[in-house]
Amino acid sequence: MTKDTPASRIRLGTRASALARWQAQWVAGRLGELGVDVVLVPITTTGDRHREGSIGSLGGRGVFTKELQMALLEGRIDLAVHSLKDLPTEEVPGLCLAAVPERGLVGDAMVSPRHASFDALPSGALLGTGSLRRRAQLLYARPDLVFDDVRGNVDTRLRKLDEGRCDALILAQAGLERLGLGTRVTQRLPLDLVMPAVGQGALGLETRAEDGRVRSAVEKLDHAETHAAVLAERSLLAALLGGCLAPIAAWGRVEGRVLTLSARVTHPSGAEQLDAEASAAPEQAIALGRQVAESLRARGAGRLIEAARQPG
């Protein structure tokens, strides 16, 4: 603690983007309702500093999370809020995922000022997305489409669309809704067309593992069903050794007392796609993720993932 920071206050690290601030302010608000004093601390990440080109060109893993984790380990903040789809599955010694609040919308959306649906896009239409996962799945469905890496915060991407730099954007539904931009959505893409990224729509609240004061406060925001679902998804991703940027998609959900995990691996060209699904008790989330990963691996998922690592 700095000399002017009360011992009871939680310092919450946040990136500067509008969506990151929304997420941090949402968490701060929920903690405030529980009587917890929270102050936001701005942190700039590698992904924020370099907004052009693909995320893979920046080194891939952790470009939006490493600096937040370092600030936690150095004691400059007490809590980091991540978009869980950006958080690598490798454990960082000294840190823990203390809570996962209830998930928002899980799927992807198309935004287009000229075309009413994905099926209505003309052959050769240019779609903007920085996600290999999205591009591969959409190419599997429509190999006649063209894709361009479009990065930056949501407002920047929408501006590029409005300037005519592409015919449509593919974005996470949750981010658009959280920013009050739901009216821009042209079509919510079906999950059988584009399965979401691991952890998409969910927030991850990370603390120091030994900080009992902060952990006990943050754990009150945990949503058990969401936590089990994303734990299964992250277990699958770790077992496939894919990393956040691989063309791997997953969707876990608890219905009744049953956790179901659907997963997909797609060749980066869209030429081949593998799907798998299994169910278990929520308490078996980690084992379920490994089971579905093994099913995909037995059918050649490793070859598709490796193709995504090849240059060009």
Residue 99: burial class (beta carbons within 10 Å; 0-12, 13-18, 19+): buried
Q: For the chain, how far is it from start to end, CA to CA, in angstroms?
A: 48
- CB neighbourhood size of 58 (10 A): 18
Q: Which of 4, 37, 48, 86 is catalytic?
A: 86
Identify the sign of the CA torsion 275, 230, 30, 221. positive
- The residue whose two tokens read 């454990």 is 91
Is 86 assigned a catalytic role? yes
The two three-digit tokens of residue 300, written as one number: 């050649």
Contacts of 231 by beta carbon, 8 Å cutoff, 6+ apart: 252, 285, 286, 289
Distance of alpha carbon 287 from alpha carbon 252, whole angstroms = 13
8 A C-beta contact, residue 125 and residue 247:
no
Cβ-based neighbour number of residue 184 at 10 Å: 18
Instruction: Give kind and range of the element (H or E) at residue 79.
Output: strand 79-83
Specify the residue for token string 């469905």. Answer: 141
Identity of the residue numbered 169: L
Please list the active-site residues: 86
